[in-house]
Structure 1
Amino acid sequence: MDITRALSDENRVRALAALRGRELCVCQIIELLRLAPSTVSKHMQILRQARLVECRKHSRWIYYSLANDQAPPAVRAAVEWVCSTVAKDPKIRDDAKHLKQILKMDPETVCRLQQKS
């Protein structure tokens, strides 16, 4: 049930798609989704509880990645299915373009820009 709940929100699906093949700092996810930090934090918590994503803390940064090979088969299958299904969605394609711009900046710069807005 946690997996279906986690996948029921467009922004969580967008975050999953953005994490495909890479690890992102939470500030990069905030910038991509253009949501409040508290909202993104809640979304990522739901994805984490469903075991769809993993997180690690490095210094003051929190990084997220898709569930790894140690995740249950149902989780890995759900992640793969969602990412491949939405890959051609116009919003996901726009996100990919925006993410390329975000990734040109280091996470600290992204975080500073968010604090100014």
Structure 2
Amino acid sequence: MPRTNRNGADTKFRAFSDQTRLRILHLLRAGELCVNDLVEIINVPQPTASRHLAYLRRSELVITRKKGSWTYYALAPAANAFHKTLLECLGQCFDEVPEIQKDARRASKLKQQGGCCPR
């Protein structure tokens, strides 16, 4: 079986197949977050969040920005029509999922409190 390209559809679909990664991607639609923000919002251990963020980076769905010792994560701009369609689906298909709605409420509350990371 031929080895697949990490930018291919199979890798993107695998990224979307995990609930934690899906929740992270959905949260990043609203803007960049640091790992501490994500840990607080989705209530997972920091190593778990970091592992999923690394997978999303390798899949080229997430980009990073460094500020001092902090790393901020954001959705990567759509590289092609397929990627754009996935990002659109993220917004349209998952807004009604109860877990995603809870995440959005926690993210809003955390943002009002100033977040976990310096901006």
TM-score by length of 2: 0.82
Q: Which has the larger radius of gyration?
A: 2
**Does structure 1 residue 50 correspond to structure 2 residue 22?**
no
Within 5 Å, give how 1:63-102 maps onto structure 2. 63-69=72-78, 71-102=79-110
Give the Cα separation in 1 of the matches to 2:64 and 2:31.
12
Residue by residue over 1:49-108, the C-alpha shift from the partner in whole angstroms, topping out at 9 and shown as x without a partner, is: 111111111111111111115x2332222122122200111111111111111112334x
Q: Among all aligned residue pairs of Structure 1 and Structure 2, give the percentage whose two residues are the same amino acid.
A: 32
* Matching residue's letter, 1:52: L
Q: What secondary structure, in the 3-state scheme, does the structure 1 residue paired with 2:30 have?
A: coil
Deviation (angstroms), 1:9: 0.7
**Does structure 1 residue 27 correspond to structure 2 residue 36?**
yes
Residue by residue over 1:7-30, the C-alpha shift from the partner in whole angstroms, topping out at 9 and shown as x without a partner, is: 111011011111113111111011
Structure 1 residue runs without a partner (length 5+): 112-117
Structure 2 residue runs without a partner (length 5+): 1-9
TM-score by length of 1: 0.83
Q: Select the structure that is richer in helix.
A: 1
* Matching residue's letter, 1:73: A
Contact 1:25 1:61 in 2 (8 A): yes
Give the Cα separation in 1 of the matches to 2:93 and 2:62.
18
Contact 1:51 1:67 in 2 (8 A): yes
Q: How large is the Cα RMSD of the aligned pairs?
A: 1.5
Please list every run of at least 4 consecutive aligned residues from structure 1 whose deviation after the TM superposition is greater than 4 angstroms: none
